[in-house]
Amino acid sequence: MTDEVDAPRSTPLVDEAMKKAAVAWVAVGAGAPTALWCVPLEGSLFVVSGPGEQAAPGLADADAARVTLRGDHGGRIVTWPARVTRLAPGTPEWETAAPLVAAKRLNASGPTADLVARWAADGCALTRLAPDGPPDAGTALPDTSLAAEPRGAAVVRATRKPFRLHRVRRR
C-alpha cells in the first residue's frame, strides 16, 4: 500500500489525457520541453531514456518536471507538474513496470525480456512521471503564444537559387 504522501494528485482531465498519450512534452527545470515517447500505466506516465533509447536531458536525476500533453492536431490539452521517480533495476517496481513498458516499445529488436535486460545492463533510466498538483487551467493559462523560435541545428543549409538550364525571357 502507498501512503497518502506517495499517492498521485491528479484530476480527471489529466487522467483522461494520460490514457491516450503516446508522446509527452517534458520540461525539467528551466530547460526547453523535449518530446518523449511514453507509456501510460497505473495513473502515471513512464519514460525510458539512455543508451540506445531516447535522450531526456536531466530527467533521470530530477525530482520534478512539467508535462504537456497535446491532442491529435498539435494543440495543447493540459500541462501539469509531475513528481519524477527513477525506478531501479531489481526492485519490485522495476519488475512490474519494465516488462509492461517494454511490451509497448515499437520497433524493439528481440523479445520483451531481452529488452528489459538490455535496459538494466546499459543503465537506461525507467522514469515515472506522476501528477503532483493541479494542472494549468482557467486563469493560470498564458495569454500569449507559447511558440518558440526553432532551435538551431548543424544540418540546416542555406537556400540556394534554383538552377536554370536556359534563360527565361520576360515579355
In this structure, are residues 23 and 37 in contact, taking their beta carbons and an 8 Å threshold?
A: yes
Report the C-alpha gap between 122 and 51 in whole angstroms: 6
Q: Does residue 171 form part of some domain?
A: no
Q: So what's the pLDDT on residue 86?
A: 94
Instruction: Give this prediction's pTM.
Output: 0.77
Nearest in space to 128 (alpha carbons), one of 55, 38, 66: 38
- Region 22-40: mean pLDDT is 91
Residue 142 — pLDDT band, cuts 50, 70, 90?
A: low
**What pLDDT digit, counting tens, does each position of 40-92 carry?**
998 899 999 999 899 999 998 999 999 999 888 878 888 999 999 999 999 99
Q: Does residue 43 form part of some domain?
A: yes
Q: Does residue 47 form part of some domain?
A: yes
Q: Does residue 154 form part of some domain?
A: no
Helices 112-122 and 92-103, interaxial angle, to 10°?
A: 120
Least confident of 63-67, 87-91, 105-109, 155-159: 155-159
Domain limits for position 24: 12-87+125-134
State the total domains in the chain.
Answer: 1
